[in-house]
Amino acid sequence: MTEFPSIPAMFELSGRTVVVVGSASGLGQASALGIADAGARVVCADLDEEGAQQTVDLITERGGTAEATAVDVTSTESVAAVVAAHAEADALVMTPGLNVRKRLLTTTDEEFDRVIDINLKGTYRLMRGFGTRMAERGRGSIVTFASFRALVVEPGQGLYAAAKAGVVQLTKTLASELGPSGVRVNSILPGPFETPLTEQIKSDEEWWNAYANKAALARWGQLPEIAGPVLFLVSDASSFVTGHSLLVDGGWMAQDGRFTPRV
């Protein structure tokens, strides 16, 4: 019979290095804090290096180990430099995102290029760089951040939804290609979380409440609630999980939500 490891040990990350891109705020910061709490040394990477350092300070205050570094996911050279500096990384988590909330016919080529470059091509650059190093070592875990908008849309979300759907397909492809090398690649699809990206919705009470009421849990997600799913996919607890799209959406996709019948 195969020896059964302890469950806490499966989530333990001591001795491992995890690069978290987008860690200056929001879901990236929450992910970095959770990963550090599990024992990993966290490389907090962000275009906002000052914000990344603030996350490092929070981790240090909690007894963890971390360092900050600057990265521009729209620059192949910048991504390559971070990969070279942290080629030993055991896991990669990438959360950067940009949304332009406009109806599709009013968007511009420049807006399209910007949304795709950050959400999709930025993810591609990071996957390619770190994936190459992990495949050479025969181990590693890559966690991309897509969105429930990769599956369902609303007016004004076209560019973002298209980019995030692309992230899901890139994730599945890399999982297929790197599986034989022992590298796992999975995607998290957050639902409505209160982050800097959703400030526009928060400023409109009707819009904000409509989002809360659509989810089965009837509320918005709080930042610490992303840490558990991220830790699961980074750690050995998910050692037989790859190519998966994990919804963290408060039950948004589980129900219709437009009407509650009297039954």
**155 occurs within a structural domain:** yes
Per-residue pLDDT, 204: 84
Alpha carbons 228 and 33: distance in angstroms, whole number: 11
pTM metric for this prediction: 0.94
Alpha carbons 93 and 32: distance in angstroms, whole number: 9
Q: Which residues does the chain have with pLDDT short of 50?
A: none
**255 occurs within a structural domain:** no
Q: What is the CATH number of the domain that holds 92?
A: 3.40.50.720
Q: Which of 263, 252, 184 is nearest to 218 (CA)?
A: 252
Q: Residue 257 CA to chain centroid, in angstroms?
A: 26
Q: Is 160 a catalytic residue?
A: yes
Radius of gyration of the chain (CA): 18
pLDDT tens digits, 92-102 = 999 999 999 99
**135 occurs within a structural domain:** yes
Per-residue pLDDT, 240: 97
What total of structural domains would you count in the chain? 1
CA distances from 71 to 10, 76, 78, 87, 106 (A): 30, 10, 6, 15, 31
**233 occurs within a structural domain:** yes
Percent of the chain with pLDDT over 70: 99
**256 occurs within a structural domain:** no
Per-residue pLDDT, 150: 96
Q: Which of 201, 205, 189, 193 is nearest to 246 (CA)?
A: 189
**249 occurs within a structural domain:** no
Per-residue pLDDT, 1: 63
**231 occurs within a structural domain:** yes
Domain containing 122: what range? 11-240
Per-residue pLDDT, 228: 98
Q: Provide the token pair at 206.
A: 């009707």
**38 occurs within a structural domain:** yes
Give the chain as a DSSP string.
Answer: ------HHHHH--TT-EEEEETTTSHHHHHHHHHHHHTT-EEEEEES-HHHHHHHHHHHHHTT-EEEEEE--TT-HHHHHHHHHHTTT-SEEEE-------S-GGG--HHHHHHHHIIIIIHHHHHHHHHHHHHHHHT-EEEEEE--GGGT---TT-HHHHHHHHHHHHHHHHHHHHHGGGTEEEEEEEE-SB-SGGGHHHHT-HHHHHHHHHHSTTSSPBPGGGGHHHHHHHHSGGGTT--S-EEEESTTGGGS--S-----
List the catalytic residue out of 130, 145, 160, 252: 160
- Measured in degrees and rounded to the nearest 5, phi and psi for residue 91 equal -150, 155
